[in-house]
Amino acid sequence: MQTPKFSRTYTTLRWTCIILFAIIVVLALIVLVPLFVERVDQWSGWKSGEWAAAGAWIGGIGATTAVIVALWQTKLARSDAAEANSRLDHQLQTASRLEQIKTIPPIWDAIRTLSTPTTNLIVAFSKMNERINDRDAAEEDLTRADFEIVHNTANIWKETFTAVESSFSPALMIIEEEKTRIIIATLYQRVIKLHMIAITALKGFPEWERCDPKEIQREYERVNAMRTPVVNTVRKHLMEIPPLTSLVEDFTDEDLTKATTYAAKRASPV
């Protein structure tokens, strides 16, 4: 596509004017600046030495100003860098805390799956105790069929417990905060104790030793009872927010009314 002749002419004229204007400005400066300096010299009556001293003072003031500005900019840069490092450290710490927190819910999910197998195991133990009593009263020996009451249930419980024990591995490896690590380790010891009680009971049956299934139930309840201490420890030391118990204690009837009203407004159609 060819450029219109009028457009080319306008462009040429414009650049010609710009060049002429630049030449005029340069010539004016060449002529006017010496005249201005001469007039100032005549008006002030200063000699060349005095002008040199004034120039030195002006140069010194300029240099000092430049140094002050440079120092101020350096201070600002350091402050910005420190603030950026602080934000980065905070973000890294937050990310680390979140990674540690994520390892805890799977533990409780696994413990919850142990509820039904534990109940079934307790029932099986009770039935086995009754079978031992019946055989003992009849002066008969236990048979393999007698142990089937516990055998199948115990196998399911053991498989479930293996998953529970494995769920602790990420938390025990990743959690760095001391208080949280201690409470998780304590919970793990509780779970292991539950396992030992169940295994001991299973080993006792072939020897006609009755077990107390309530002991297993009590230990499982102790495991579940640690939920609140674990939550409070995580909130206080890992998340650095008030424990859940203090929030519940401080929750007044007025707060409940406000929360209910807010929930009703959110649920109502607009």
For 47-74, how does the pLDDT look when each residue is reduced to its tens digit (9 = 90+)? 555 555 555 666 667 777 777 877 787 8
Amino acid identity, position 90? H
- How many CA atoms, within 13 angstroms, populate the side-chain half-sphere of residue 70? 6
Alpha-carbon distance 266 to 259, whole Å? 11
- Poorest-confidence range of 5-14, 114-123, 237-246, 256-265? 256-265
**Which region, left, alpha or beta, applies to residue 209 given φ > 0 means left and ψ of -120 to 50 means alpha?**
beta
| Residue 251: partners with Cβ closer than 8 Å, 6 or more residues away | none
Alpha-carbon distance 115 to 227, whole Å? 14
* pLDDT 10s digits, 84-107: 888 888 788 888 888 888 999 999
Q: Are 49 and 57 in contact (CB under 8 A)?
A: no
Instruction: Name which of 187, 191, 169, 189 is nearest 229 in CA terms.
Output: 187
What is residue 48's predicted lDDT score, i.e. its pLDDT? 56
Query: How sure is the predictor about 33, in pLDDT bands with cuts at 50, 70 and 90?
Result: low
Give 39 or 27, the one with higher predicted confidence.
27
Residue 168 has pLDDT above 90, yes or no: yes
Q: Are 51 and 42 in contact (CB under 8 A)?
A: no
List the Cα angle 115/194/167 in 5-degree steps. 65
Instruction: Name which of 145, 121, 120 is nearest 134 in CA terms.
Output: 145
Query: How sure is the predictor about 3, in pLDDT bands with cuts at 50, 70 and 90?
Result: very low
Query: How sure is the predictor about 192, in pLDDT bands with cuts at 50, 70 and 90?
Result: very high
What is residue 145's predicted lDDT score, i.e. its pLDDT? 66
Measured CA distances, 27 to 20, 30, 32, 37 (Å)? 11, 5, 8, 16
- Poorest-confidence range of 136-140, 172-176, 259-263? 259-263
Angle between helices 105-113 and 178-204 (to 10 degrees): 20
Q: What is the mean pLDDT of residues 2-17?
A: 63
Q: What is the mean pLDDT of residues 126-152?
A: 70
Alpha-carbon distance 133 to 140, whole Å? 10
Q: What is the mean pLDDT of residues 238-244?
A: 67
Q: Which alpha helices (DSSP H) does the chain contain, by range?
A: 5-44, 48-102, 105-113, 115-137, 144-167, 169-174, 178-204, 213-225, 227-233, 244-250, 253-267
Residue 23 has pLDDT above 50, yes or no: yes
List the Cα angle 117/122/126 in 5-degree steps. 145
| Residue 104: partners with Cβ closer than 8 Å, 6 or more residues away | 171, 184, 230, 234
What is residue 32's predicted lDDT score, i.e. its pLDDT? 65
- How many CA atoms, within 13 angstroms, populate the side-chain half-sphere of residue 32? 6
Alpha-carbon distance 125 to 117, whole Å? 12
